[in-house]
């Protein structure tokens, strides 16, 4: 049995399809519970509709980057397994690294070499990529409730400052991701600056001309347009 | 109407049970495949291949739980960690939804809206990937196009540029208005700049760095709040 006979075999596709279907049902159930709660809390239907619409538009562009990750992984691991990993649990930034780490631990220099050694390495790679996340999943199951509960308690206890403290938590994420862009070359900096400028301009237009719908899509439009601008900046830098 | 505590317990019970089933499911896939094709690897081989990943991914999970759960709330957190692509799609998407709705994280409304946002986002990502998987052969030239590669390689600067403006603007935060909140990013940004450019590059250590920065950011914000540089005032109702 060859590596790709299994990796692109119908059995793996069926199993992966079932796994993804399970997570989609879960998404639908979480949504149902949340929508019911939203109604109980008196959240305006328009707010919910805007949340849905902006989330759809916002997600499309970064998802294309994930799809590109699938295209990058498919020649080494087939389509089914990367499709599963990138749809659920995995991250486009870690998956290829995870597959390569598992492969090198098996004694192969690269994924392509493992694929030449028959189907056996595929089983080990799938187990390793899954087992590597076992600790993370167990921690999630145990601690999400505890941390959320603690955050709400601390926020309430801290009074007005609690609102500030929760608000600034995201600043730590921003600082960690934004500051390194300035060392990644002109294209990254120019793309970042374009995104900043576009967000400001679109926010100004939405406010000045009272275009309410635009307000919901500023981030999504800035994201897509500034991604496109990176092509221009790359051409100019060359 | 359900009390907050009742809803909180219900969503967590559902999250924990469904996540546990998912945990079993993801191990079932390689097990069935290995059994069907008789390609079970040896335990020592699997442990050796798993250990490195386990040691990298588990601390990242710790930092993501501590940093992201207070922002996302329970329901969205289960879905986010289960569907992956956390910092590049799910977290920014949920934060954007809360910002647009003018509600705060760690509030009842925030919890509900972030769960809806992450559920929708997960479905969209899955749909895009299914399309890509189905059309992988015909789309190969598009995926190989240098312009597409350049645009997608720059998704993070594009994403975080827009997010930064949106979040530093502050303002409306549910029942209150926060002013001067942007000043709280100066200290963590300086710390990251010093560490990243003068001590060691933080690439690959983002999770740990966020974990260390959380108390730094909150203490810095506390100092600014005490000095009156960040203010919180009740929102005046519009007639």
Domain ranges for chain A:
1-132
pLDDT in tens, A186-226: 999 999 999 999 999 999 998 898 887 787 788 888 888 99
pLDDT score recorded for residue B236: 64
More confident residue, B177 or B31: B31
Q: Is residue B41 part of a domain?
A: no
Could you tell me if A56 lies within 8 Å of chain B, comparing CB atoms? yes
Distance CA A133, CA A137 (A): 6
Contact A43 B193 (CB under 8 A): no
More confident residue, B232 or B1: B232
Contacts of B189 in chain A (CB under 8 A): 175, 178-179
Mean pLDDT: which of A60-64, B21-25, B98-102 is highest?
Answer: B21-25
Q: Residue A77 pLDDT > 70, yes or no? A: yes
Q: Report yes or no: A68 and B149 within 8 Å, Cβ to Cβ.
A: yes
Q: Is residue B164 part of a domain?
A: no
**Which domain, by its residues, includes B193?**
172-239
Question: Average pLDDT in the A123-135 region?
Answer: 91
CB-based contacts of A225, cutoff 8 Å, min separation 6? A194, A198
B171 has which bridge partners? B178
Residue of B30, B120, B154 lying closest to A187 (CB–CB) = B154
Nearest CA in chain B to A59: B121
pLDDT in tens, A42-56: 999 999 999 999 999
- ipTM, two decimals, is 0.85
Number of cross-chain residue pairs from A and B with Cβ atoms under 8 Å apart:
528
pLDDT score recorded for residue B175: 67
Q: Is residue B195 part of a domain?
A: yes
Signed CA dihedral, B27, B22, A131, A60: sign only = positive
Contact A19 B25 (CB under 8 A): yes
Q: Residue B2 pLDDT > 80, yes or no? A: no
Percent of chain A with pLDDT over 70: 99
pLDDT score recorded for residue B64: 87
pLDDT in tens, B54-89: 887 888 888 889 889 999 999 999 999 999 988 889
Contacts of A32 in chain B (CB under 8 A): none
Could you tell me if A49 lies within 8 Å of chain B, comparing CB atoms? no
Q: Is residue B126 part of a domain?
A: no
Q: Report yes or no: A58 and B96 within 8 Å, Cβ to Cβ.
A: yes
pLDDT score recorded for residue A16: 96
pLDDT score recorded for residue B171: 58
Question: Average pLDDT in the A110-129 region?
Answer: 87
Q: Is residue B228 part of a domain?
A: yes
Question: Average pLDDT in the B216-227 region?
Answer: 94
Q: Residue B237 pLDDT > 60, yes or no? A: no
Q: Residue B155 pLDDT > 90, yes or no? A: no
Question: Average pLDDT in the A66-85 region?
Answer: 87
Q: SS3 for A185? A: coil
Contacts of B173 in chain A (CB under 8 A): 163, 167
pLDDT in tens, B193-214: 999 999 999 887 787 888 889 8
Residue with tokens 């329901």: B75
Cα→Cα distances B92→A10, A173, A213, B81, Å: 35, 10, 20, 14
Distance CA B19, CA B11 (A): 12
Q: Residue B6 pLDDT > 70, yes or no? A: yes
Return mean pLDDT, chain B: 89
pLDDT score recorded for residue B13: 97
Confidence of residue B183 (pLDDT cuts 50, 70, 90): very high
More confident residue, A211 or A130: A130
pLDDT score recorded for residue B239: 45
Query: Which candidate, A78, A141, A106, A122, places its Cα nearest to that of B52?
Result: A106
Residue with tokens 């996540």: B19
Residue of B15, B124, B149 lying closest to A144 (CB–CB) = B15
Q: Is residue B179 part of a domain?
A: yes
Return mean pLDDT, chain A: 89
């Amino acid at each position: 049995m060859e590596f790709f006979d299994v990796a692109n075999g119908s059995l793996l596709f069926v199993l992966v399809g079932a796994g993804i279907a399970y997570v989609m049902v879960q998404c639908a159930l979480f949504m149902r519970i949340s929508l019911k709660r939203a109604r109980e809390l008196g959240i305006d239907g328009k707010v919910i509709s805007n949340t849905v619409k902006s989330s759809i538009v916002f997600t499309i562009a970064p998802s294309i980057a994930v799809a590109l990750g699938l295209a990058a992984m498919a020649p080494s691991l087939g389509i089914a397994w990367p499709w599963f990993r990138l749809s659920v649990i995995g991250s486009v930034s870690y998956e290829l690294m995870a597959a390569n780490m598992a492969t090198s631990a098996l004694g192969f220099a690269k994924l392509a070499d493992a694929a030449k050694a028959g189907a056996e390495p595929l089983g080990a790679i799938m187990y390793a990529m899954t087992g590597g996340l076992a600790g993370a999943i167990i921690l999630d199951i145990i601690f999400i409730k505890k941390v959320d509960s603690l955050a709400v308690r601390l926020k309430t206890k801290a009074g007005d400052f609690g609102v500030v403290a929760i608000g600034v938590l995201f600043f730590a994420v921003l600082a960690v991701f934004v500051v390194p862009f300035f060392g990644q070359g002109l294209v990254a900096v120019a793309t970042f600056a374009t995104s900043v400028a576009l967000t400001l301009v679109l926010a100004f237009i939405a406010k000045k001309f009272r275009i309410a719908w635009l307000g919901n899509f500023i981030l999504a439009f800035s994201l897509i347009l500034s991604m496109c601008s990176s092509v221009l900046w790359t051409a100019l830098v060359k | 109407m359900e009390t907050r505590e009742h809803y909180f317990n219900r969503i967590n019970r559902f999250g924990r049970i469904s996540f546990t089933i998912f945990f079993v499911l993801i191990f079932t896939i390689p097990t069935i495949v290995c059994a069907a094709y008789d390609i079970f690897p040896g335990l020592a081989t699997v442990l050796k291949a798993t250990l490195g990943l386990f040691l990298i991914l588990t601390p990242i999970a710790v930092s993501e739980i501590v940093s992201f759960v207070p922002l996302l709330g329970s329901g969205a957190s289960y879905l986010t960690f289960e569907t992956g692509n956390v910092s590049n799609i799910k977290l920014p998407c949920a934060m954007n939804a809360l910002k647009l709705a003018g509600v705060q994280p760690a509030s009842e409304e925030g919890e509900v809206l972030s769960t809806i946002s992450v559920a929708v986002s997960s479905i969209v990502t899955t749909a895009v990937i299914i399309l890509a998987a189905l059309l992988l052969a015909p789309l190969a030239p598009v995926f190989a196009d240098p312009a597409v590669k350049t645009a997608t390689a720059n998704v993070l600067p594009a994403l975080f540029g827009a997010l930064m403006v949106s979040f530093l603007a502050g303002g409306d935060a549910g029942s209150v208005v926060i002013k001067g909140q942007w000043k709280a990013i100066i200290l963590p940004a300086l710390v990251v700049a010093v560490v990243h450019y003068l001590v060691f590059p933080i690439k690959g250590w983002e999770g740990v760095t966020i974990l260390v920065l959380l108390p730094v950011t909150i203490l810095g914000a506390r100092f600014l709040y005490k000095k009156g540089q960040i203010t919180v005032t009740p929102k005046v109702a519009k007639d």
